[in-house]
Structure 1
Amino acid sequence: MFGKLKEKLLKTASKITEKIYNKGEAEEVKEEKPKIPLTSLFRTETKKEEIREPEIKKIESEKTEISKKVEEVKEIKKETTSEDEKKISFFDRFILTRTIKKALKKEIVILEEDIEDILEELEIELLESDVALEVVEKLIENIKKELVGRKISPNDNVEEITINAVKNAIKNILSQEKIDIEEIIKKNKAKGKPTVIVFVGINGTGKTTTIAKLAYKLKQKGYSVVIAAGDTFRAGAIEQLEQHAKNVGVRVIKHKQGADSAAVIYDAIQHAKARGIDVVLADTAGRQATNTNLMEEIKKVVRVTKPDLVIFVGDALTGNDAVYQAEEFNKAVNIDGIILTKIDADAKGGAALSIGYAIGKPILYLGVGQRYEDLIEFDADWMVKKLFGEEEFKFSTERQF
């Protein structure tokens, strides 16, 4: 998961770290260049060389030692390369950091020109990973804010500073105002009314399965749930939803195929009110944002049913297409949050990094597998850890973020 994006981010952090090391080394050599006393100007060239020779040898010796350690790092990187992704090992990081610490004999300041070429490379690589352009630009801007003008002393852990700068830049991108679905359910329950959640999206994103997963999750937490079969357009959609509902132990409110979607969801809401059911999860037909008639229909559904939440379900594997789709649905019905499916198969990670920032709405859940329990709450800290290979992935509903 996110293998390619993880590789690019780690590589960038490593390059910036090495660049700082190189700057430290260059300034050290410049400072240590021996000064020849004025009296030596009247001596022969041979005598001058005799005075400089010990200092030159010392500098060359230290440069050779540092070069050897950098070569060790490169060898370790080669050894840790696999077919899927290149990981920077703890040992690799330790050697590189130790080398940098030795190289920095004085405080240095990171300038924009020191990291500009590296960030230009990252910009191209992020675009190749399906990260939206506006998100790429913001991320680069955030990294610059974190690093440019930063003073690095000999006692600082340069690699840690670099890694944290990239992490903070990403966290800033991912951090949207959260929605506490359980809090909404509890408030509505106290008022004696059900919480209505309508799901929208295009065909094939896993919307129906996601509804079943959320129904399972809410039931596990003690809430009663009913599902509205609002997808009256697709052949077999009602039967598919009924099978999922049977598997997770909830009821489906349905009409015949071709019926008015808004009417089905309205009936489900009335059913929930009459029986004191906590949550109505409403399915809708998948539709392309370019289909004007179907988009007018989903507007009608939202207008008639007045849901507490409208959730867009997107396929992470579609990358920038998922971002575009979310933007179009947001224009049409003002979505409140996002669920991304198929995250476990997403190597690029572009949609996960882009979609929330692009429309200014939070990612609520991630679909990470085929089982009903494979729906996890989104958390920016967890996402950042995943991107830097610091979090072991587990399919579990018991994850504590």
Structure 2
Amino acid sequence: MFESLKKKFSRTSDKLEEELIEEAQEENNLEEESGKKFSFFSFGKKDNKEKEPENSDVAEIPQEVESLSEEKVLEESDEEVMEESEAESLDDSEEEKSKKSHFWSRNKNKETSENDDENESKSHFWSRNKDNSDEEEETPDDEEEPSGMFSFITAKTISEKHLEDILWELEMGLLEGDVAMEVASEVVDSVKDDLVGRKIKRSNDITEYTYNALKNAVSEIINIPGKSMTEMIEAKKAQGEPLVVMFVGINGTGKTTTIGKLANYYLKKGYTPVIAAADTFRAGAIEQVKYHADNVGVKLIKHQKGSDPAAVAFDAVEHAKAQGKELVLIDTAGRMQTNTNLMDEMKKIKRVAKPDLVVFVGDALTGNDATQQASKFNEAIDIDGVILTKADADSKGGASLSIGYVIKKPILFLGMGQEYDDIREYDADWMLNQLFSENEEETD
């Protein structure tokens, strides 16, 4: 999922690092540091690992002694870095004790390095990211690069000048990925506010700050507050009433299949749903929803084709009340948001059935079109939430990132496949992990 967005986020970090390192190179403000460079996606995991206590084998050591030991280690570590730097300037033979990138290996003699051509310097420096040399190999499991850890002799401060081109590229990339304009602008503005003024000492700091800035920006976008459908069922059950949910959307988005999935989902949770076949307009619609109801094993309330859909919805609600069923799922005719007559008919269903939730079902693969459709339906009948289908096949992520923020309504469920069990309640933390994790199996 969301491979396109992941690449755009990672590239933003890489571009900022290139910008600051090249500038520092021109200023003679760059030196190699012992250690390994974190990749963008593994940074969060590495950061968590660093925060874990490493005293499993010496748990009996008193806390006071541990604290002193840690301070001593930090002091000794700083002294070692300083001694390394001094040794490198006095004796070039010390450079053989650590791995060198192309940029540093060509600088074994510091007196001649000042006369090197600047373009040649940059070419050698960045070749470590483009060529398959003996000094660098891909390490997908370790998620660390074997070299390329640098520090600035004098700390660099991120300015608007450093970010101008980079954030413009990010914004264009988000728009190309079907992210809504206002969402792309919000992400870019948030990242800019977060990064400008940050002081950078090491190249890993760039990765850390960019990672956190992007993650914070996206977190604000996708976390739209709202009650879950399950919570609402319980609240209505306590009142002795069923939760009535009306589903709207255009043809072809998987609305009827989603109703079948939800019926199956809540049946397995111990509730008893009933489905209303209120799509009496389209030929074959009643047979289609009946197919899903039979497969799942729930009651279907239906009338003849061409009958009043509002009457079907009303009968389903009355049946649920009489039989003590907790959930009514109302299927409606798929229609374009520009069809005034059909939209009026949908408003009538809402007046008669009095649903507790009106849910828009959109196809995640349609990107910004799904966001625009949801906006139109929201203007016409005031929807309460969104379900996105085919989210598992969505590489761009535009709809998933944009739709809730644009209409200010929560995403309730995501369709994740073709089987009845392939649906999951939306969770913003899970979504965030999907967007900021390189390997999907880590976030399942």
The answer to whether structure 1 residue 355 and structure 2 residue 403 are counterparts is yes
Write the distance in 2 (CA, Å) between the matches of 1:76 and 1:247. 54
1:180 aligns with 2:236: no
Deviation at 1:135, TM superposition (A): 1.1
Q: How does 1:182-261 map to 2 (within 5 A)?
A: 182-261=230-309
Secondary structure of residue in 2 paired with 1:166: helix
Which residue identity lines up with residue 425 of structure 2 in the other structure?
Answer: E
Give the fraction of aligned pairs with identical amino acids, expressed as a percent.
Answer: 51
Q: Specify the alignment match of 1:264 in structure 2.
A: 312
1:13 aligns with 2:13: yes
Q: Note the alpha carbon deviations across 1:325-377, whole angstroms, 9 max, x for none.
A: 00000011111110011122222221111111111111111111100011112
Q: Which runs of 5+ in 2 are unaligned?
A: 32-108
Q: How many Å apart are 1:299 and its aligned residue?
A: 1.1
Cα drift, residue 126 of structure 1: 1.5
Go from structure 1 to structure 2 and tell me whether the alpha carbon gap of 1:276 and 1:161 turns closer, same or farther (over 3 Å shift): same
**Take 1:161 and 1:88, find their aligned partners in 2: how far apart are those partners?**
23
- Secondary structure of the 1:153 match is strand
Q: Distance in 1 between matches of 2:336 and 2:327?
A: 27
Which residue is 1:164 aligned to?
212
Q: Which amino acid aligns with 2:130?
A: K
8 Å Cα contact 2:271/2:326 also seen in 1: yes
Q: 1:366 touches 1:378 (CA, 8 Å); kept in 2?
A: yes
Q: Structure 1 stretch 67-76 or stretch 193-202: which is displaced more?
A: 67-76
Indicate conservation of the 8 Å contact 1:21/1:103, yes or no: no
Letter in 2 for 1:72: R
Aligned twin of 2:166: 118
Q: CA deviation at 1:252?
A: 0.5
Equivalence for 1:320: 368
2 CA distance for matches of 1:30 and 1:291? 63
Q: CA, structure 1 residues 387+155, in 2 after alignment: closer, same or farther (shift >3 Å)?
A: closer
Within the alignment, does 1:373 sit opposite 2:424 as a pair?
no
CA distance in 2, matches of 1:317, 1:268: 32
How far does residue 391 in structure 1 lie from its aligned partner after superposition?
A: 4.6
Name the SS of the counterpart of 2:178 in structure 1: coil
Please say if 1:74 is aligned against 2:130. yes
Which amino acid in structure 2 is aligned with residue 222 of structure 1?
A: G
2:296 and 2:186 map into 1 onto residues whose CA distance is: 42
Question: Aligned with 1:118: secondary structure?
Answer: helix
Deviation (angstroms), 1:260: 1.1
What is the alpha-carbon distance in structure 2 between the residues aligned to residue 390 and residue 222 of structure 1?
36
Q: Deviations along 1:24-52, whole A, 9 cap, x unmatched?
A: 43444499xxxxxxxxxxxxxxxxxxxxx
Counting only pairs closer than 5 Å after superposition, residues 112-151 of structure 1 correspond to structure 2 as 112-151=160-199
In the alignment, the residues of structure 2 paired with residue 287 and residue 224 of structure 1 have an alpha-carbon distance, to the nearest angstrom, of 29
Which residue identity does 1:266 align to in structure 2?
F
The amino acid of 2:277's aligned partner reads: A
For residues 199-257 of structure 1, what are the alpha-carbon distances to aligned partners after superposition, in whole Å with 9 as ceiling and x for unaligned?
A: 00011100000011111111111111111111111111111111101111111011111
Checking the alignment, whether the CA contact within 8 Å between 2:158 and 2:197 is kept in structure 1 is: yes
How many residues align? The count is 362
Match of 2:145 in 1: 94
Q: Is the 8 A contact 2:243 2:356 kept in 1?
A: yes
Q: Which moved more, 1:339-348 or 1:258-267?
A: 339-348
CA contact under 8 A between 2:22 and 2:122: conserved in structure 1?
A: no
Cα distance, 1:165 vs structure 2: 1.4
Contact 1:322 1:355 in 2 (8 A): yes
Equivalent position amino acid for 1:385 in 2: N
Report how far residue 261 of structure 1 moved: 1.2
> CA 1:289/1:360 → structure 2, altered by over 3 Å: closer, same or farther?
same
Alpha-carbon distance change, 379 to 254 in structure 1, aligned in 2, over 3 angstroms: same
Partners of 2:203 and 2:368 lie apart in 1 by 42
Q: 1:172 to 1:107 in 2, by over 3 A?
A: same
- Aligned partner of 2:112 among 34, 57, 65: 57
> Distance between the aligned counterparts of 2:330 and 2:292, measured in 1?
14
Secondary structure of the residue aligned to 2:369 is helix
Deviation, 1:60, is: 6.9
Query: How much does 1:385 deviate?
Result: 2.5
Q: Alpha-carbon deviations, 1:147-194, whole Å to 9, x = none? A: 111122349632122122112211211111132211111111111000
Matched position secondary structure for 2:5: helix
| RMSD across aligned positions (CA) | 2.8
User: Which structure 2 residues correspond to residues 18-29 of structure 1 after superposition, within 5 A?
Assistant: 18-29=18-29
Q: CA offset at residue 288 of structure 1?
A: 0.6
Listed one character per residue, the Cα deviations across residues 368-400 of structure 1 (whole Å, up to 9, x for unaligned) are 110001111222232232223435259xxxx97
Runs of 4+ in 1 over 4 A off after TM superposition: 58-61, 63-69, 87-93
Q: CA deviation at 1:89?
A: 4.9
- Distance in 1, matches of 2:207 and 2:232, equals 43
Pick closer, same or farther for the CA change 1:73–1:264 going to 2, 3 Å.
Answer: same
Alignment of 1:380-395 (within 5 A): 380-392=428-440
The aligned residue for residue 37 of structure 1 is none
Q: Distance in 2 between matches of 1:125 and 1:156?
A: 24
> 1:287 — aligned with what?
335
For residues 17 and 160 of structure 1, the distance between their equivalents in structure 2, rounded to whole angstroms, comes to 11
